[in-house]
């Protein structure tokens, strides 16, 4: 299949305007004839459902949580980027575009990224109009701080709770539409299959997580906003319910999965404490504005940090990358932390941690200023570790946090399955091989508020519309498939818990397909994943019944999908014979141990097509064409 990204022709800065004009429109009076399913209520799903209903479409909106407000987006801490240039420090749409392309190690589409930078400013206006309480300067203008991979301050924030405040804004708009009757909310539902009729996505099958009932829902188009698959690593900063199931089931129904090996390991998380831990906590990247990262110069130096004099500390990021210092992008910061720990310079009980020190910032700005900026993050750190970061440096270590891979989408955000659109972290579109901090919220809201309202109209207006009902045999087939799978899970009757399988899968991926990868490890991981998957279907224990509230069953379904998807992730990593961004294959590195790309052979998106349970997936490519920026070796020195 030809992967046509449908990128409009013409100058970069005019593509989106030109495209919006070229897209067919749905007459306002006709919009109410269309039903759209939006799965997900995070920033992408919440903003999409509200915007589509505001336009006049009828929307059914689904989520796993008991309230749309509890989507994983609520956890976002540090901020959201936009090219407003309020600081007058040299920012522009072009600079945001360039930083994002470079930050992603030249593995994203120019046209998508430029559009993202263009609409970033509208997002801030929209959110301010909704009443989102962004931090402000004394003169009233919105305040900004810096994030990694940029030398300007363009990150808008609401203390360390930016995601929560943005989500409340989207939720307000969503509830307004629930009030008008144009959005119907279906909370506590889990998507288990996509229904395809005549080659088009026409509905979904979900499980009611409270009653266990399998439900059918038909629509003219389906919009997936189901977030990322970072929990494939088991330990991650993601919400516990974050999963790959929705996108993986769509993959099995014809949507290609793009760049699954592009995963982001975030440098500043609270280190792992014990074997039975099930969750990791992020310390926002914003802390690197003022915190200085260091380790003792001598391996094995286990003196307390305040007893190690300045001359015996290595502020390795400032030393190696004088221009960007502590604000290098995440992939660079994470790999460097690992390298220091591998040299024996790690700190803390396990030796897998580095310091993030605020002593200089407190001396310079005073404790009150630091507390005003990061108070809730410091409090959270102290609650979890029982150490006061105003007095002793934080200890941090990289952890799985975000995924750049996701379902392949074209410029209209439509997958290879016609009628199935994918937004937010669930798609692969804008961040290349590494996402810059504060750009996920920007992308999710850009997709939901400003892109899908146009592009879905173009699809619907061109549709030869025949109304589909849930009596269609395709729905019956999907329900049959879902029920059989549930039956199979409940009948395994083994001895090992589902969490135990998930934990082992996480160990395999972290060890062999984490911050650094090599061919032997990847091949070994593939075998181990296959064996683990085999054992899962023989020896997992899934108690309870299907016609009831059953969290073990929920988890079992998600872990079963992770066990299949993990193989695709590792296969993708193995076949990309280069290093770029978060994908670091040790065989491909510069003399200074930075990622070494192969632009001649791998300047493309890899998109995988499902060919059947017993067959290997097929790798397709979409060439990445750079007309406006020159590909260079990334440098943050």
Contact residues: ligand FAD, CB under 6 A: 39-45, 62-65, 71-73, 75-80, 162-163, 189-191, 225-227, 237-238, 242-243, 245-246, 282, 401-402, 424-426, 438-441, 444
Handedness of CA 196, 197, 203, 208 (dihedral sign): negative
Task: Supply the minimum distance, in Å, between the C-beta of residue 439 and ligand FAD.
Answer: 5
Task: Supply the minimum distance, in Å, between the C-beta of residue 518 and ligand FAD.
Answer: 28
CA distance 45 to 174: 10
DSSP per-residue letters across 50-90: HHHHHHT-EEEEE-SSSSGGGSGGGG--S-EE----TT-SS
Task: Supply the minimum distance, in Å, between the C-beta of residue 52 and ligand FAD.
Answer: 15
Task: Supply the minimum distance, in Å, between the C-beta of residue 510 and ligand FAD.
Answer: 17
> Which DSSP letter does residue 593 get?
S
CA distance 174 to 84: 26
Q: What are phi and psi of 610, to 5 degrees?
A: -75, 130
Angle at alpha carbon of residue 570, lines to 567 and 576, rounded to 5°: 140
Q: What are phi and psi of 529, to 5 degrees?
A: -65, -40
User: Cβ(205)–Cβ(480) under 8 Å?
Assistant: no
Closest CA to 442 of 177, 93, 173, 19: 93
- Between 134 and 602, CB nearer to ligand FAD: 134
CA distance 92 to 85: 6
- Between 26 and 452, CB nearer to ligand FAD: 452
- Between 51 and 237, CB nearer to ligand FAD: 237
330 is a catalytic site residue: yes
- The 3-state DSSP class for residue 168 equals helix
Q: What are phi and psi of 171, to 5 degrees?
A: -65, -40
- Between 66 and 89, CB nearer to ligand FAD: 66
Task: Supply the minimum distance, in Å, between the C-beta of residue 150 and ligand FAD.
Answer: 13
Element (H, E) at 104: none
Task: Supply the minimum distance, in Å, between the C-beta of residue 428 and ligand FAD.
Answer: 12
User: Cβ(509)–Cβ(229) under 8 Å?
Assistant: no
**Residue 88 Ramachandran class (φ > 0 left, ψ -120 to 50 alpha, else beta):** left
Task: Supply the minimum distance, in Å, between the C-beta of residue 362 and ligand FAD.
Answer: 23
In this structure, are strands 221-224 and 420-422 parallel, antiparallel, or unpaired?
parallel
Q: Which of 189, 216, 330, 597 is catalytic?
A: 330
Residues classed as catalytic: 330
């Amino acid at each position: 299949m030809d992967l046509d990204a449908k990128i409009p022709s013409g100058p970069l800065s005019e593509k989106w305007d030109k495209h919006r004009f070229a897209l067919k429109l749905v007459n306002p009076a006709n919009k109410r004839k269309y039903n759209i399913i939006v799965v997900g209520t995070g920033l992408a799903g919440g903003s999409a459902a509200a915007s589509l209903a505001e336009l006049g479409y009828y929307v059914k909106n689904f989520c796993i949580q008991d309230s749309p407000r509890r989507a994983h987006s609520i956890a976002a801490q540090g901020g959201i980027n936009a090219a407003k240039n309020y600081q007058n420090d040299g920012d522009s749409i072009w600079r945001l575009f360039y930083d994002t392309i470079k930050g992603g190690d030249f593995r994203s589409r120019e046209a998508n990224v430029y559009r993202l930078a263009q609409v970033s400013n509208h997002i801030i206006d929209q959110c301010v109009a909704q009443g989102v309480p962004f931090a402000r300067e004394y003169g009233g203008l919105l305040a900004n701080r810096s994030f990694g991979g940029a030398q300007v301050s363009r990150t808008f924030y609401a203390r360390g709770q930016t995601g929560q405040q943005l989500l409340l804004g989207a939720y307000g708009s969503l509830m307004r539409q629930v009030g008008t009757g144009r959005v119907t909310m279906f909370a506590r539902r889990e998507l288990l299959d996509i229904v395809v009729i005549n080659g088009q996505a026409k509905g979904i099958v979900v499980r009611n997580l409270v009653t266990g009932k399998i439900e059918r829902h038909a629509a003219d188009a389906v919009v997936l906003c189901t977030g990322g698959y970072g929990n494939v690593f088991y330990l991650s900063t993601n919400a516990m319910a974050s999963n790959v199931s929705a996108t993986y089931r769509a993959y099995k129904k014809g949507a290609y999965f793009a760049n699954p090996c592009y995963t982001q390991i975030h440098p500043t998380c609270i280190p792992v404490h014990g074997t039975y831990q099930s969750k990791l906590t992020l310390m926002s990247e914003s802390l690197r504005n003022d915190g200085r990262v260091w380790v003792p110069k001598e391996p094995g130096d286990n003196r307390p940090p305040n007893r190690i004099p300045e001359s015996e500390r290595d502020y390795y990021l400032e030393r190696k990358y004088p221009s960007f210092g502590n604000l290098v992008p995440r992939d660079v910061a994470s790999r460097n932390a690992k390298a220091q720990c591998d040299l024996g310079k790690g700190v803390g009980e396990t030796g897998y941690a580095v310091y993030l020190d605020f002593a200089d910032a407190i001396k310079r700005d005073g404790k009150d200023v630091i507390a005003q900026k990061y108070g809730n993050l410091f409090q959270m750190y102290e609650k979890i570790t029982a150490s006061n970061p105003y007095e002793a440096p934080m200890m941090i270590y990289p952890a799985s946090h975000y995924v750049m891979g996701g379902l392949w989408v074209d410029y209209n955000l439509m997958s290879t399955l016609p009628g199935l659109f994918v937004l937010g972290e669930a798609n692969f579109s804008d961040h290349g091989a590494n996402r810059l901090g504060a750009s996920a919220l920007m992308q999710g809201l850009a997709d939901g508020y400003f892109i899908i309202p146009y592009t879905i109209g173009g699809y619907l207006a061109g549709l030869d519309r025949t109304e589909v009902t849930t009596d269609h045999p395709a729905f019956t087939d999907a329900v049959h498939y879902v029920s059989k799978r549930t039956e199979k899970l409940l009948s395994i009757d083994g001895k090992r818990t589902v969490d135990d399988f998930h934990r082992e899968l996480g160990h395999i991926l972290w060890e062999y397909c984490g911050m650094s990868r090599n061919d032997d490890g990847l091949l070994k991981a593939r075998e181990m994943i296959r064996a683990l998957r085999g054992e899962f279907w023989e020896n997992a224990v899934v108690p309870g019944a299907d016609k009831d509230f059953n969290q073990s069953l929920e988890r079992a379904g998600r872990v079963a999908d992770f066990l299949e998807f993990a193989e695709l992730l590792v296969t993708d990593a193995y076949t990309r014979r280069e290093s770029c961004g978060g994908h670091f294959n040790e065989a491909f590195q510069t003399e200074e141990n930075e990622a070494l790309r192969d632009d001649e052979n791998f300047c493309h998106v890899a998109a995988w097509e499902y060919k059947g349970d017993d067959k290997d997936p097929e790798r397709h490519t979409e060439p990445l064409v750079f007309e406006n920026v020159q590909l260079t070796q990334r440098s943050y020195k």
